[in-house]
Amino acid sequence: MSDAPEVRQPVVTPVRVIIALCLAAPFVAMLWVSSYAKVDPAFIGIPFFYWYQMLWVLISTALTMIAYKLWQRDQRSRKPAGSAQEGAGA
């Protein structure tokens, strides 16, 4: 037998698709400039162009945090039960 680690193919799961969407949404929103390149509606005197982008800073933070937590959960569920014990016995 070989001591080479087994190579697993990448798997596309619904959770990973959600993670990708969470990470891609801010890029799409910011690259679609014609959707926010306007002055109105102003918010407390700040033109739409500026407050929309600042709002996406907060949204991006939340989406990145969600993606990270989903990724952590996905990795924990994929870890084989015996792999933690193998590393400790070496």
Q: Which two tokens stand for residue 80?
A: 């084989």
pLDDT at 23: 94
Q: Which two tokens stand for residue 36?
A: 């926010």
Give how many domains the chain has, as a whole number: 1
Residue 54 lies in a domain: yes
Residue 53 lies in a domain: yes
Residue 14 lies in a domain: no
Residue 59 lies in a domain: yes
Which pLDDT tens digit goes with each residue over 31-90? 988 888 788 888 888 888 888 899 999 999 999 999 999 999 988 887 765 555 555 555
Q: In terms of pLDDT, which residue wins out, 14 or 79?
A: 14
pLDDT at 84: 54
Give me the domain span that covers residue 54.
Answer: 30-76
3 has a pLDDT exceeding 80: no
43, β-bridge pairs: 46
Residue 24 lies in a domain: no
4 has a pLDDT exceeding 90: no
* Integer Cα distance of 70 and 21 in angstroms: 12
Residue 88 lies in a domain: no
